[in-house]
Amino acid sequence: MKPKQFVVIGLGRFGSSLAIELMEQGYEVLGIDRDEEVVEDMSELLTHTVVADATDEGVLKSLGVRNFDCGIVAIGDDIQMSILSAILLKELGVGTVVAKAISVLHGRALEKLGVDRVIFPERDMGIRVAHQLVTPNLLDYIELSKDYLVVELTVTDCMDGKTLSELNTRVRYGVTVVAVNKPSGIIVAPTAMDVLHAGDIMVVIGSNENVERFENEVV
Ligand code: ADP
């Protein structure tokens, strides 16, 4: 079941954009920050906002934080504050605790505390942008594991008008096209006879090495 209520601790650049996006997707969000001005700026945009120190256990208890499905610790720069808030969210029994880390060591500490998901926004965005810069038709990618990737690529002119059977990606590159997004709609699990057109978006799965080989040959 999808979580419905989120508590976001720290409404800096990362926390505020995450909280606003959750609201736009229809979820309830409680935003907590110790900075009064920050909270005032966000008060109209979130379901509830509170000026509070997230390392104060009594305050978190009185806000009923334990009833939230998911808590996000979006404090980055102040590692001590981030760690203390993460401990409290775990101890209070918040369903899933996600925390932002600013360094590998910070991330390791959060994992050791039992944080369910540690994210490294700056590092991950750096990697993502680098991939997009070297592969101009790459729209997005997801690492399935250390060795496997799913990528979203724009179909280029060199593939225009070709069927998947003509491209023969499985045999030639060891990658599989799992979906094609066309202006007319998305084709999930396309067949060998489906035709690609320039501008369509293809979703491709394969090993890092094979996906990279495919990307380099079809740009
Ligand atoms: P970003 O890089 O995403 O802007 P920052 O680490 O600069 O993240 O901002 C984190 C926010 O967390 C700030 O608005 C700060 O006031 C808030 N914050 C820091 N410590 C606490 C705390 N103990 N309780 C509540 N809010 C906190």
The runs of H, that is alpha helices, within the chain are 13-24, 36-42, 57-62, 79-92, 104-112, 121-134, 164-167, 169-172, 208-218
**19 ligand 1 Cβ < 6 A:** no
Q: Is there an atom of ligand 1 within 6 Å of 81 CB? A: yes
78 lines ligand 1 (CB under 6 A): yes
Quick one: 113 and 131 in the same domain? no
Dump pLDDT digits (tens) for 41-79: 999 999 999 999 999 999 999 999 999 999 999 998 899
Distance, CA 132 to ligand 1 centroid (Å)? Answer: 30
85 and 161 part of one domain: no
pLDDT of 130 reads 86
Q: Per-residue pLDDT for 84 more than 80? A: yes
Which residue owns the Cα nearest ligand 1 atom 20? Answer: 81
For position 131, what pLDDT does the model report?
82
State the sign of the Cα–Cα–Cα–Cα dihedral 130, 131, 136, 142: negative
Regarding the beta carbon of 21 and ligand 1, being less than 6 Å apart is answered no
Q: What pLDDT sits at residue 3?
A: 61
CATH code of the domain containing 14: 3.40.50.720
Are the C-beta atoms of residues 153 and 215 closer than 8 Å to each other? Answer: yes
Any ligand 1 atom below 6 A from CB of 53: yes
Q: How far apart are CA 40 and CA 33, in angstroms?
A: 10
Residues 97 and 80 in one domain: yes
First to last CA, the chain: 39
69 and 114 inside one domain: yes
Number of domains in the chain: 2
What's this model's pTM, rounded to 2 decimal places?
A: 0.80
Which domain does 170 fall in, by range?
Answer: 124-218
Average pLDDT rounded to a whole number, residues 115-130: 91
Residue 107 in this model has a pLDDT that exceeds 80: yes
Residues 22 and 104 in one domain: yes
Q: Is 38 in the pocket of ligand 1 (CB under 6 A)?
A: yes
195 and 128 in one domain? yes
Same domain for 104 and 166? no
pLDDT recorded at residue 141: 86
Residue type, 165: S
Domain at 153, CATH number: 3.30.70.1450
Taking only the tens place, the pLDDT of each residue in 18-34 is: 999 999 999 999 999 99
